[in-house]
Structure 1
Amino acid sequence: MRIALIEPDLRHAEIVSRLLLAGGHACHHFPASAPFLAGAANESFDLLVTDSFCGDAAAEDVIQRVRHVLPGLPVIVLMTAPRESELVATLQAGADDCLSKPVRGPEMLARIEALMRRAGVRRPRNRVREMFGEYAFDAGRSVVSFRGQSVMLTPKELQFALLLFTNMSRPVSRAHILETVWSRRRDVRSRTLDTHASRIRTKLELRPEFGYTLTPLYGYGYRLDQIPIENADSADKARPNERIVETL
């Protein structure tokens, strides 16, 4: 899961970042709200964790600004010995949950998982098999089975496709894709990413006649959507029982 952390206290930020990393999350630290908001339009995050004072603004004000840029982004506010009135004001301002500082690792991770479940966000799991509707991912063989056929993907195509299916109907930024698929390498050419997206679209038949669209978002990234099938006849064409397609 990709988490943004706004924390002006660098020492506490390091503690939270390590806890999130230990919990299997990617953490991106911002010392104040301004740099986070400046980059939020070009990034994708699953969650924002912020201190009650963001270094340059109160969390209540930042939450309102964040919701204009990233509508629906879950927010957890970290508070030091909060009074009941402060908790109520923060929740009424739009926070989804509050945690006391200094954070307790197991509690923080459990609250994050609970919040993500309520928000309907799933993160890729290190499992050999994964199901998304009619698409069955077999990571062990790098094979995806759907509609009576099996298609072989390269390792990076498989990771890319899993990221898209895990974030169905949610925009995924190029930075998020590079971080997940190419291990944070920034020297990967934009054409390389687009070529992989095109291969995934073709191999997995992510087209409207089969109920899916993979849309490039100019200057941002990609979004995979499931849509109503407009032409059922196209989707019901006879197909071989199984075939393997491999990119060399």
Structure 2
Amino acid sequence: MRIALIEPDLRHAELIGRLIFAGGHACQHFTVSRAFLDRAAEEFFDLLITENWAGDHCAEDVIPHARAILPNLPVIVLMTQPRESQVVAALHAGADDCLSKPVRGPEMLARVNALLRRAGLRRPPNRRRDVIGGYAFDAAHCAVTFRGQTAELTPKEFRLALLLFSNLSRPVSRAQILETVWSRRRDVKSRTVDTHASRVRSKLQLRPELGYSLTPLYGYGYQLDAIPLEAVVEAG
């Protein structure tokens, strides 16, 4: 499932993103609600998790706008030391559930999965794949479609690619890659990660002249960036 997260706190957002990905879902992070609403007009999300203060508006205001774009969208609201009045207000505004911050991993995943089960699969026919930045991810077949072509990936290449695209323009550490792609195995060699990154770069044509740059971060990990078309034209 594709989950949107609105969380101004970057450290807490990273924690939630890792938990969601480990639970088998893709997570797209936004620091403000406006960015999420703009993206939701183009791409489908199965669930929204939002901080009570969504960076630019309160969750009570964000929920109706989100559902005007994605009808019946399930919503979980995050709150720090919530008062009963806050929880009641969020539920009256349309939230399906509320969670205290910082989240507890097993509880959060259990609530996410329970809510997705109750919501059922309501994706429209043209939105049954995760589409990020023009790349459509088909988890059932470990395939990615872009610019009219389809690339078949191994399961680990697919999870790495989805991890990088879900963290577009943000650094992804080797520790996070090992945790989500190789389930924390300590015997995975550094060059194995580099080899998989190279294959993903090649198969998905992640080159600056085609709008994307996958950069190794020395001593840390990798970062995938989208390059605006105007920048590519000017460079040419």
Q: TM-score, normalised by structure 2?
A: 0.57
User: What secondary structure sits across from 1:48 in the alignment?
Assistant: strand
Q: Do the aligned residues in 1 keep the contact of 2:3 with 2:26 (CA within 8 Å)?
A: yes
Q: Report the CA distance shift for 1:171/1:35 in structure 2 as closer, same or farther (over 3 A).
A: same
Structure 1 unaligned runs (5+)? 123-166, 194-248
Of 138, 141, 144, the residue aligned with 1:180 is: 138
Q: TM-score, normalised by structure 1?
A: 0.55
1:192 aligns with 2:143: no
Q: Distance in 2 between matches of 1:74 and 1:52?
A: 15
Q: Report the CA distance shift for 1:184/1:18 in structure 2 as closer, same or farther (over 3 A).
A: farther
Matched letter for residue 192 of structure 1:
Q
Matched letter for residue 172 of structure 1:
R
Matched letter for residue 118 of structure 1:
R
Residue 39 (structure 2) aligns with: 39
Residue 217 (structure 2) aligns with: none
Deviation at 1:183, TM superposition (A): 6.7
Q: Distance in 2 between matches of 1:30 and 1:66?
A: 14
Q: Distance in 2 between matches of 1:46 and 1:174?
A: 10
User: What secondary structure sits across from 2:53 in the alignment?
Assistant: coil
Q: CA RMSD in A?
A: 2.4
Q: Do the aligned residues in 1 keep the contact of 2:2 with 2:130 (CA within 8 Å)?
A: no
Q: Do the aligned residues in 1 keep the contact of 2:138 with 2:144 (CA within 8 Å)?
A: no
Q: Distance in 1 between matches of 2:143 and 2:35?
A: 19
Q: Distance in 1 between matches of 2:143 and 2:60?
A: 32
1:75 aligns with 2:75: yes
Kindly indicate which of the two structures has a greater share of residues assigned to helix: 2
Q: Do the aligned residues in 2 keep the contact of 1:42 with 1:173 (CA within 8 Å)?
A: no
Deviation at 1:117, TM superposition (A): 1.1
Please give the residue correspondences for 1:78-117 in structure 2 after superposition, counting only pairs within 5 Å: 78-117=78-117
Q: Distance in 2 between matches of 1:185 and 1:169?
A: 17
Q: Distance in 1 between matches of 2:99 and 2:111?
A: 9
Residue 171 (structure 1) aligns with: 127
Cα deviation 1:45-67 (Å, max 9, x = unaligned)? 11000000000000000001101
Cα deviation 1:66-92 (Å, max 9, x = unaligned)? 011011110000001111111011000
Deviation at 1:171, TM superposition (A): 3.3
Residue 118 (structure 2) aligns with: 118
Cα deviation 1:181-240 (Å, max 9, x = unaligned)? 597968x21x336xxxxxxxxxxxxxxxxxxxxxxxxxxxxxxxxxxxxxxxxxxxxxxx
Work out the number of aligned pairs and report it: 147
User: What secondary structure sits across from 1:175 in the alignment?
Assistant: strand
Please give the residue correspondences for 1:115-154 in structure 2 after superposition, counting only pairs within 5 Å: 115-121=115-121
User: What secondary structure sits across from 1:12 in the alignment?
Assistant: helix
Greater Rg over alpha carbons, structure? 1
Q: Do the aligned residues in 2 keep the contact of 1:43 with 1:173 (CA within 8 Å)?
A: no
Structure 2 unaligned runs (5+)? 151-236
Residue 163 (structure 2) aligns with: none
Cα deviation 1:123-150 (Å, max 9, x = unaligned)? xxxxxxxxxxxxxxxxxxxxxxxxxxxx
Deviation at 1:120, TM superposition (A): 1.3
The percentage of counterpart residues that share the same residue type is 59
Residue 5 (structure 1) aligns with: 5
Q: Distance in 1 between matches of 2:29 and 2:91?
A: 23
Q: Report the CA distance shift for 1:179/1:173 in structure 2 as closer, same or farther (over 3 A).
A: closer
User: What secondary structure sits across from 1:56 in the alignment?
Assistant: coil
Q: Distance in 2 between matches of 1:100 and 1:48?
A: 16
Deviation at 1:180, TM superposition (A): 2.9
Matched letter for residue 2 of structure 1:
R
